[in-house]
Amino acid sequence: MTAMAMASGYVAVHLLVTVGVAGWVVVCWAAPAAALGMVAWRLRCRRRAGATEVAALVARFVSPRPWWWRPVFVVGEGAGVTLLAAGFVAVATVQRRSAELPVMTQLVGLPCGLAVAGAGFVLTRFCRPRAARAAAQAVLADGRAPVLYLRSFADDAATTQVDDGMIPLLHSREEQLAAALGALGPVIAVGRPGQPLPQLGAARFSLPLDDWQDTVRELMGLSRLIVLSLGAGEGLWWEVRQARATQPPRKLMLLLPGRSPQVAERLAAVVPDLPRLDDVAGADPWVRAVVVFGTGWVPRMYPVGPRTRRGVIARRAAHAMAPYDLRTDAQFVGRAMTAALASVGIRAPLMGQRARLSLATSLWQGGKLLTITGLLIWLAIRVLQWFGLG
Dihedral, CA atoms, 201, 203, 209, 215, nearest 10 degrees?
Answer: -130
- Are 212 and 326 contained in the same domain? yes
The 10s digit of each residue's pLDDT in 236-246 is: 999 999 999 99
76 and 196, same domain (yes or no): no
Nearest in space to 162 (alpha carbons), one of 148, 183, 177, 144: 177
Same domain, yes or no: 188 and 198:
yes
Q: What is the pLDDT of residue 322?
A: 47
Phi and psi at 252, nearest 5°, equal -110, 135
pLDDT tens digits, one per residue of 270-310: 887 777 655 454 455 688 889 999 998 999 999 887 655 55
Lowest average pLDDT, out of 19-33, 67-81, 216-230, 252-266, goes to 19-33
C-alpha–C-alpha distance, residues 306 and 300, integer Å: 19
Q: Is residue 279 part of a domain?
A: yes
Query: pTM for the full model?
Result: 0.76
In a domain, 56, yes or no: no
Residue 236 lies in a domain: yes
Rg (CA), the chain: 26
Checking if the pLDDT of 251 tops 90, the result is: yes
Task: Specify whether 256 is located in the same domain as 342.
Answer: yes
pLDDT bucket at 253, cuts 50 / 70 / 90: very high
Residues 256 and 160 in one domain: yes
Long-range CB contacts for residues 246-250, cutoff 8 Å, separation at least 24: 246/217, 246/220, 246/221, 247/220, 247/221, 249/293, 249/294, 249/295, 249/296, 249/297, 249/298, 249/344, 250/292, 250/293, 250/294, 250/344, 250/345, 250/346
For residues 377 and 320, state if they share a domain.
Answer: no
Within its chain, how far is the Cα of 188 from the centroid? Answer: 11
Quick check: is 106 in a domain? Answer: yes
Q: Are residues 109 and 237 in the same domain?
A: no
**Together in a domain, 89 and 215:** no
Q: Compute φ and ψ for 172, nearest 5 degrees.
A: -85, 175
CA distances 188 to 101, 344, 368, 377, Å, are 51, 22, 24, 35
Q: Which residue segment(s) compose the domain that 259 sits in?
A: 135-356
Residue 145 to residue 336: CA distance in whole angstroms: 22
One domain for residues 252 and 274: yes
User: Is residue 54 assigned to a domain?
Assistant: no
**Residue 91: inside a domain:** yes
pLDDT of residue 167: 46
188 with 276, same domain: the answer is yes
Give the pLDDT confidence score for residue 362 in this predicted structure: 55
**122/149 same-domain check:** no
H or E stretch covering 159: helix 156-159
Q: Is there a domain that residue 21 lies in?
A: yes
The distance from CA 99 to its chain's CA centroid, rounded to whole angstroms, is 42
Number of other CB atoms surrounding residue 291 within 10 Å = 22
In the 8-state DSSP scheme, what is residue 193?
T
Confidence at residue 327, expressed as pLDDT on a 0 to 100 scale:
63
> Are 198 and 287 contained in the same domain?
yes
Number of domains in the chain: 3
What are the phi and psi torsion angles at 255 (to 5°)?
-105, 115
CA nearest neighbour of 385 among 26, 10, 1, 125: 26
The rounded Cα 243 to chain-centroid distance in angstroms is 25
Contacts for 333 with CB less than 8 Å, ≥ 6 apart: 177, 180, 255, 286, 287, 290, 304, 352, 355
Contact 365, 332 (CB under 8 A): no
- 242: CB partners within 8 A, 6+ apart: 213, 216, 217, 220
58 in a domain, yes or no? no
